[in-house]
Structure 1
Amino acid sequence: MIELLQALPIFSSLKKKEIKFLAEIAREVEYPPSTILLHEGDSGNCLYVIIEGRLEILKSLGTTGEYVIGFRGPGEYLGEMYLFNPERVRTASVRSLTRVHLLEISTHDFEALLNRRPELEYSLACGITQRLLDTEMMLLRTIAEKDRKLAQALTRAKFPQQEEAYGPDNLKPYHALEEQDIRTETGIGTVPVRVLTFGNFQVFRGETRVPDKNWRARSPKLMLKALIARGASGVPKDLLIDDLWPQASPDSVEGQFKVALHRLRYALEPLMDKSRGSSYVILKDNLVSLRKDLCRTDLDEFLSLQKQGKRAEEAGDQGRAILCYRSAIEIYRGDFLAEDLYETWAELERYKLRTMYIDLLYRTAGLYEAQRRSKKAIEYYKMIIKTDPICEAAYQKLMLIYSNGGMRAEALRAYEDCRKVLEREIGVQPGRLTSSIYRKIIEVS
C-alpha cells in the first residue's frame, strides 16, 4: 500500500510517516463497470483516489439533459469538491466506465491529514482550479458547437433547401420546431452510447444494453464493428461495403448498404426522427463516422491509456506508467471482436491489439522487476504465458526470477512447462537461451 500511495502524484509531497498514516486510514475498494459511485446533490463523506480503471464525471444524471464534463484515470482523484463546498454536497455524479480499483478516504480522516499538512489543501485547491478552467473551456466549446447546430436546424426549418423532397405540408416554421427536433439535431439530452469490443461485443445506451432484437440482422452490427475497427471517423463508404460484402462490387450492394446503415441507426436510436437523422452515425461526403462526443469505445480507452503509460515511462515516472498499463490491461477482457474470427479486417486489428496487450504485460512486469517486486512481475509474466503459451521469453524471465530468488524448484518447473508446451504445440525443443538458463540453474544447485 505504501509503495502504491507514493506513486500517486497527489501524495508525492508527503513524508514517509504521512504516507504511512494515509495507508492506515485509506480503504481499498473495487466496483464493476457502470456503477454510480457518487450522485450529484448527495452529502459528501469521502473522496477517492484512482488506482486502476476509468470513470466519467456527469451532470444532470438520469435526465434528458445529462452530459459528460470529464474523465478520470489512474493516479487522479475525485470527490474532493465537497471539501470546498459550504453545503458539503456533491457537485456532479461519477460513473465507472471499467472495473475500478480505488482508495476510499473518509472526510474525517482526510481532514485530519489536511490539518497535519496544510500545503496538501493548497495542492488540492490548485487542482480544482485547473479542473474548473478545463471544464469551463469544454463547456464553452460545447455551447458554441450546439449553437452552431441549433442555428442550422432553425435555418432548415424556416428556409428548407429541399422543399420538394419534404413537401410543403411537412415543413415546420422555426417557431413551431419541437423540442425533440432541436435535441436530435444538436445532441442536447441525447443518451451517450458505449461500445465494448474486447471479449464479448456489447453496446450500451446509457446504462441499458442494446438488446439483440434491435439489430434485426447481422449486417448492422457488423457495420458498427467494421466502422470501429477502421477508426470510427471518416471511414470511406466503399471500404465498409468491401468489408461487409467482399465478393460484390460497391454498385451492386448499394441498396444493402443503405438498409444496414438504416438498421444500425435505429438499433442505437429506436426513437430516431427520420427527418432529422441519426444522433450517433453520420454519413457525409461518402464518409461514415461515429460522433465522438456521444459514442465511446473501450478500444479508444485502451489506446489512450497505453499512450499515457508510455509517456510516463519515457519520463521516468514508473508509478504512473504502471497505473496506466494496469488499467489498459484491465480493459482487455478478451481478444478484439473475438466472435468475428474470419473477418479479415477484424483479424488484422485483433493481431495488432493482441501484440500491444502482450507488450503492455511485458512493460508492466519489467517495471515491477525494476522495483524489485518479484511477485507482481511473476504475475504478469504468467499472464503473458496464458495469452501466448509458446512465448519462450516469458518462461525465461520466470526461470531467472525464481532462480535469483532461491526458488529452484519453481525455476525448474517453469522450464519443464516450457518444454512440454513447445513440444506439444509446435513440435520443437526449448531454444539455446532457455536451455542455457536451465543448465546454469542445475549447475548452481
Structure 2
Amino acid sequence: MSDLYEKVESGDYEKAARILEIEQSRQTEAGNHLLSEFLGVARHICLACHQSHADVDWHRRAQVMAGSREEEMKSQLQVLLEVMSANNLNHHPPDDRFGNSSDLHGNSDSGRHGMLKLIQSMISNLHHFGSVHQFGTIGPNNSSYSVDKYRQILKPHSNEMEWSSQVTEQNADLKVYCLGRFRVFAHDKLICNWPSLKGKSIFKYLIEHNKTAVSKEILMDRFWPDTDPDSARRNLHQAIYNIRQAFHQHQLKIRPIIFENDHYGINPELKIWLDFEEFEWRLNRGRQMESVNQMALAISEYRTAEELYQGDFLEEDPYEEWPVRKREQLRVDYINIADLLSSWHQEMKDYNPAIVYCRKILEKDDCFEAAHRRLMQCHQANGQPGLAVRQYHLCVEKLKNELEVSPSPETRSLYETITHASLGLGKALKITM
C-alpha cells in the first residue's frame, strides 16, 4: 500500500484509483467483501479528487468573470439611481448620456425614447448577468438578435444536441476538426493563413467553449498571463482582428467571432460543424438505441463515433493546460466505445475486428486489463495460444512499469487456463505422432 500512499500524496489520483480498482478486484475474488467495499469507496474518492483538480481552473476563471459582472452591474445600478434621484422624469427628459433622440425604430422623438433605450439595455444586461456567461443580445446596434434566439442557439450542454440535426458536415459554413490534427475548412477550403500561433490558439479556445461566451479578462489571463493589462488587451484585440481577416479572405460572409459586454464567442448564426460534438452526439445516440435494445442501430452509431475519433482532442497542444479536461473526457468516451465494440465482435465470434479495437484501446491506455484479457481470449479462439501468452507477458510488463502492480486474479486465471490448454494440446500431438 506504500505505492498507493505515494500516489495520493503526489496528487496522482487517477493512478491511485487504478491501484484501488485492482486491489478491490483481488479482495472480491478472495471473498473479503467488506474490505472490497471500503476499497470501492476509496476509489470513488480518488476519482472525485481527480475531477476536482480539473475543476480548479474552471472555478478560477469563473471568479474572475464574477468580479467583472459585479462591477458592470454596479455601474448600471449607479446610473439608474442617478436617474431616479432626479425625481422629475415626467417634466424633463433625461440628458443625452442615456441615448440620442431617435426612438427604437429610428424615428425622431424626444429624450423619452432615450430612456426606453436605457431600460431596454439594462434588461438585456440583466439577462446576460443571469445566465452567468452567455450572450444576451448581440449584433449591429444590439437589435438584430433577441435574447430568446440566443437562448435557443446557445443552450449549454444540451443532451439532445439539437444543432446536429440542423448542421451536417455537408452543409456547414465552417467545419472544424479537433480530434487528431487540427483543421478548419471554410466552405470546404482549408484555412492555412493563420496570423499567428497565439491567434490560432485563441480560436481553438473559443471553439471548445462555443456554446458560451468568454470574457476578455479570461482570454487575457489565459494567453498573456505575464503581460500588463493594457498590453494584453491590445494583443487580444489584434489577435481577434487577425483571425477575422483570415476568415474574410476565404469569403466567409458571417463574422466567426462576435463581441458583446466584454465577452467574445463563436457567432451562433454561423453554421458550424465540430467533429468532437458529432462524436458526442453519436455516442449519446448509441446509448439511447442500446437502452431500448436496438443493438444493431447502437453499434452503427458507435462505429461512426469511433471513426470520427482520429486522435486525441487538440493533440497538437500537449503542453496547454486548458484542453486537458475535454481531452481526457473524450479519450475515456472513446475507450468505452472501443471496449463495447470489441466485446460485441467477440460475442459474435468475429475475433479479428475485436482484436483491432482492443489494440486501439491499448494505444490510449496500455494498462487497460480488460483489453489485454480480450486479446488473449481472441488469440486463443483464433488458434494462436502463443500470441495469447505473449499478450499476457506484455500486460504484466505494462502494469509493472506504469502502476507497479501485478495483473488481477482474473487475468492470471485466464493465463493459466490458456497455458494448461496449450500443454494439453502439445501432449496430445506428441501421442498422435
Which TM class, normalised by the smaller chain length?
Answer: 0.5 to 0.7
Cα distance change of structure 1 residues 286 and 413 upon mapping to structure 2, 3 Å threshold? same
**1:199 counterpart (163, 172, 180):** 180
Secondary structure of the 2:323 match is: helix
TM-score (norm 2): 0.53
The 1-side partners of 2:420 and 2:399 are apart by 24
- Tell me the CA shift for residue 359 of structure 1: 1.2
Write out aligned runs for 1:164-203 (5 A): 192-203=173-184
**1:432 counterpart (400, 409, 415):** 409
Report the RMSD for the aligned CA atoms in angstroms.
3.3
2:337 aligned partner, one-letter code: L
**1:443 counterpart (409, 417, 420):** 420
Offset from partner CA, 1:278-297 (integer Å, 9 cap, x none): 52212122332223442222
1:378 aligned partner, one-letter code: I
Unpaired runs of 5+ residues, structure 2, are 1-102, 109-139, 146-170, 423-433
Cα contact 2:195–2:243 (8 A) shared by 1: no
Matched, 1:222 2:198: no
Matched, 1:352 2:300: no
2:214 aligned partner, one-letter code: V
The 2-side partners of 1:358 and 1:282 are apart by 36
Cα contact 2:375–2:391 (8 A) shared by 1: yes
Count of matched residue positions in the alignment of Structure 1 and Structure 2: 261
**1:291 counterpart (267, 283, 288):** 267
Cα distance change of structure 1 residues 272 and 237 upon mapping to structure 2, 3 Å threshold? farther
Matched, 1:264 2:243: yes
1:281 aligned partner, one-letter code: I
Secondary structure of the 2:322 match is: helix
- Tell me the CA shift for residue 377 of structure 1: 1.9
- Tell me the CA shift for residue 430 of structure 1: 3.1
Write out aligned runs for 1:2-13 (5 A): none
Offset from partner CA, 1:29-81 (integer Å, 9 cap, x none): xxxxxxxxxxxxxxxxxxxxxxxxxxxxxxxxxxxxxxxxxxxxxxxxxxxxx
The 2-side partners of 1:256 and 1:398 are apart by 52
Secondary structure of the 2:258 match is: strand
2:261 aligned partner, one-letter code: D
Which structure has more strand as a fraction of its residues?
A: 1
Cα distance change of structure 1 residues 435 and 282 upon mapping to structure 2, 3 Å threshold? same
The match for 1:336 is: 313
Matched, 1:321 2:298: yes
Secondary structure of the 1:233 match is: coil
The 2-side partners of 1:191 and 1:440 are apart by 54
Cα distance change of structure 1 residues 250 and 320 upon mapping to structure 2, 3 Å threshold? farther
Unpaired runs of 5+ residues, structure 1, are 1-154, 161-180
Cα contact 2:259–2:265 (8 A) shared by 1: yes
Cα contact 1:412–1:438 (8 A) shared by 2: yes
The 1-side partners of 2:181 and 2:259 are apart by 27
Cα contact 1:309–1:320 (8 A) shared by 2: yes
TM-score (norm 1): 0.52
Cα contact 2:175–2:185 (8 A) shared by 1: yes
Cα contact 1:195–1:201 (8 A) shared by 2: yes
**1:280 counterpart (224, 232, 256):** 256
Cα distance change of structure 1 residues 352 and 246 upon mapping to structure 2, 3 Å threshold? farther
The match for 1:302 is: 279
**1:418 counterpart (395, 402, 412):** 395
The match for 1:233 is: 212
Cα contact 1:265–1:280 (8 A) shared by 2: yes
Cα distance change of structure 1 residues 271 and 427 upon mapping to structure 2, 3 Å threshold? closer
Offset from partner CA, 1:330-360 (integer Å, 9 cap, x none): 1111111111111111122212211111111
Offset from partner CA, 1:384-415 (integer Å, 9 cap, x none): 11222232221012223334565423321221
2:184 aligned partner, one-letter code: V
The 1-side partners of 2:251 and 2:257 are apart by 11
The match for 1:397 is: 374
Cα contact 2:172–2:273 (8 A) shared by 1: no
Matched, 1:208 2:189: yes
Secondary structure of the 1:241 match is: helix
Which structure has more helix as a fraction of its residues?
A: 2
- Tell me the CA shift for residue 432 of structure 1: 3.2
The 1-side partners of 2:104 and 2:244 are apart by 22
The 2-side partners of 1:354 and 1:249 are apart by 37
The 1-side partners of 2:419 and 2:411 are apart by 13
1:202 aligned partner, one-letter code: R
